């Protein structure tokens, strides 16, 4: 059980936990090593395993979960070959098999004799660990929720793999299980997480996972069917390996442009879609970001939310070069989806056309400012809803949130709300529903639901109807 002998999985080497456990397995009965040092190493290793387990939401055998987590995050020649090509080849498999023999020794190690010799049961507690009660993927802590690092779906995958690895009999079986995981889900953060943002590691550009993302789905976006279908059509072509275009979603504020992109991520994550959120001040790092992802077996969308530029801002030139126009060919696994309230992303004024000033070729200025938005092959418009459409959005949101108000009263209050809260939009409708929920408007159980009738018919919920109110 010598972690210094890893041939491919060298990233396990720096783990002080593995080093300490290997040292303890060899020396816990060695009288030449002070007992205090041995217990200190064991307690230190147990503490790290516990901290990681709580942070990431593991339960059951935290030792096995810890080891499995190391494996699923180790981006090396073997794991990446499985992710990208599916077959690592004989040479890499042979080297990886030797490493699996070492990891299986860690998996199968029985801590009973060690703990008896050192007079402690700290590892036993970790092997039979019961997690804090979870409510909807969150830890309830004194009226607030503590988000764990791994979303529920990822957590289940890791714990299922940990169980499979525990049940393997040979190193060959161990190797087969981890290769199967890499082929199906990938390796590292790209294999586990949906979304990322740009980070910095001592001046080096990195991608940092976003542990919790908005769970919005397409059914949550009421209306805009043509816009949603246009966006879905382009995305399906992209993840199917066909030609697809960069997308610009533009239109009025609060109409669901950003939510539509988030819904894409949630819907197609299982088919390899990944998203990287990038802000304007980070455009200079775009080429570095592309270099980090162009060899991975996923379909990346660079998400630029609320994009627009004032006259004095020139960072859009970096974006132009990445979209189209640089010497380096754009990778086939990178697209750009941007949202904006402007159809033409760079601010234009009448001065550009009527008052050229010192500009000899004023039309060049206009063309320069139009050139960015013209590089988005698909443009999708999200307009402000009509009054009846706004009321329909309010009605549907009220049903989903089980608001128990008569329809006439609901819509009357919604109309008052929008007059002083940003006008007609999906965002305004959601804010209105959130307000009702916040002030304690009664709700009903779904088992007793009588849905609102379509707009224009008689009020469908009245005070006399059989509603089970939840106070």
| 201 is a domain residue | no
Same domain? For 399 and 365 the reply is no
Q: Which domain holds residue 466?
A: 387-470
Closest CA to 165 of 107, 111, 126: 107
The verdict on 357 and 373 lying in the same domain is: yes
Asked whether residue 212 is domain-assigned, the answer is: no
The answer to whether residue 445 sits within a structural domain is yes
Domain stops at, among 337, 362, 382: 382
20 and 168 co-located in one domain: yes
Q: Where are the beta strands (DSSP E) in 154-272?
A: 195-201, 204-209, 247-251
Return the pLDDT at 470: 31
**Which token pair is 140?**
């309830």
Q: What is the DSSP string of 300-346?
A: EEEEE-S--B-TT--THHHHHHHHTTSSSPPPTTEEEEEEES-SSSB
Distance CA 249, CA 228 (A): 10
Same domain, 85 and 40: yes
Q: What DSSP element (H or E) covers 378?
A: strand 378-382
Q: How far is CA 149 from CA 16, 159, 216, 270, in A?
A: 21, 14, 19, 19
Residue 207 in any domain: the answer is no
Asked if the structure places residue 120 within a domain, the reply is yes
- Tens-of-pLDDT digits for all 471 residues of the chain? 777 788 888 765 556 889 899 999 899 888 898 989 999 999 999 999 998 888 888 888 999 999 999 999 999 999 999 988 778 888 999 999 999 999 999 999 998 898 888 888 888 888 887 655 544 445 444 444 456 688 888 888 999 999 999 999 999 999 999 999 999 888 988 988 999 999 988 888 999 999 888 888 888 888 888 989 999 999 999 999 999 999 989 888 888 889 999 999 999 998 999 999 998 888 888 888 988 998 888 999 999 888 776 665 566 666 766 666 556 677 889 998 988 877 665 555 545 555 555 554 445 454 555 566 677 888 888 888 888 888 888 888 888 888 888 888 888 888 888 888 878 888 888 888 888 888 877 666 543 444 444 444 333 333 333 333 333
**Residue 18 within a domain:** yes
Are residue 178 and residue 277 in the same domain, yes or no? no
| Same domain as 52, residue 107 | yes
Q: Identify the CATH number of the domain in which residue 266 sits.
A: 3.40.50.300
The number of folded domains in the chain is: 3
Of 192, 226, 257, which closes a domain?
A: 192
Q: Radius of gyration (Cα) for the chain, nearest Å?
A: 28
378 shares a domain with 293: yes
353 belongs to a structural domain:
yes
Q: Of the residues 329, 352, 382, which one is the last residue of a structural domain? A: 382
Same domain, 368 and 405: no
Is the pTM higher than 0.95? The answer reads: no
Position 209 in a domain: no
Are 368 and 444 in a shared domain?
A: no
Is residue 324 located within the same domain as residue 400? no
Q: Report d(CA 406, CA 465) in Å as an integer.
A: 10
Measure Cα distances from 468 to 133, 402, 438, 443 in Å: 28, 11, 19, 8
Same domain, 347 and 366: yes
| 348 plus 396 within the same structural domain | no
CA dist 209 and 35 (Å) reads 41
């Amino acid at each position: 059980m010598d972690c210094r002998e890893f041939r491919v999985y060298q990233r396990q080497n720096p783990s002080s936990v593995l080093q300490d456990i290997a040292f303890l397995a060899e020396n816990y009965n060695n009288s030449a090593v002070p007992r205090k040092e041995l217990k200190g190493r064991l307690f230190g290793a147990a503490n790290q395993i516990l901290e990681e387990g709580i942070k990431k939401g593991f339960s059951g055998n935290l030792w096995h979960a810890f080891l499995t987590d190391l494996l699923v995050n180790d981006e090396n020649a073997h794991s990446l070959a499985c992710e990208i090509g599916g077959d690592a080849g004989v040479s890499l498999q042979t080297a990886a098999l030797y490493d699996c023999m070492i990891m299986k020794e860690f998996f199968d190690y029985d801590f009973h004799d060690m703990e008896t010799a050192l007079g402690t049961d700290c590892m036993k507690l970790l092997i039979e660990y019961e997690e804090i009660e979870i409510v909807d993927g969150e830890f309830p802590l004194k009226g607030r929720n503590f988000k764990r690092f791994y979303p529920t779906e990822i957590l289940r995958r890791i714990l299922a793999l940990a169980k499979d690895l525990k049940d393997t009999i040979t190193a060959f079986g161990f190797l087969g299980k981890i290769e199967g995981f890499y082929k199906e889900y990938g390796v590292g953060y790209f294999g586990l997480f949906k979304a990322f943002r740009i980070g910095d590691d001592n001046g080096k550009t990195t991608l940092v996972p976003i542990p919790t993302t908005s769970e919005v789905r397409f059914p949550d976006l009421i209306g805009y069917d043509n816009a949603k279908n246009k966006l879905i059509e382009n995305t399906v072509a992209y993840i199917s390996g066909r030609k697809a275009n960069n997308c610009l979603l533009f239109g009025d504020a609060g109409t669901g442009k950003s939510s539509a992109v988030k819904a894409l991520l949630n819907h197609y994550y299982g088919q390899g879609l990944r998203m990287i959120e990038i802000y304007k001040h980070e455009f200079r790092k775009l080429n570095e970001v592309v270099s980090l992802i162009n060899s991975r077996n996923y379909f990346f969308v660079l998400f630029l939310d609320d994009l627009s530029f004032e006259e004095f801002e020139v960072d859009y030139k970096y974006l132009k070069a990445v979209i189209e126009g640089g010497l380096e060919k754009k990778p086939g696994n990178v697209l750009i989806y941007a949202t904006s309230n402007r159809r033409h992303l760079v601010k234009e004024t009448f001065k550009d056309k009527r008052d050229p000033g010192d500009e000899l070729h004023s039309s060049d200025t206009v063309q320069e400012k139009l050139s960015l938005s013209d590089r988005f092959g698909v443009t999708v418009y999200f307009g402000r809803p009509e009054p009846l459409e706004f009321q329909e959005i309010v009605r549907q949101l009220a049903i989903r949130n089980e608001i128990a108000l008569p329809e006439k009263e609901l819509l009357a209050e919604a109309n008052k709300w929008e007059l002083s809260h940003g006008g007609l939009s999906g965002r305004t409708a959601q804010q209105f529903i959130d307000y009702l929920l916040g002030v304690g408007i009664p709700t009903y159980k779904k088992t007793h639901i009588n849905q609102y009738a379509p707009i224009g018919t008689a009020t469908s919920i009245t005070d006399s109807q059989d509603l089970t109110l939840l106070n």
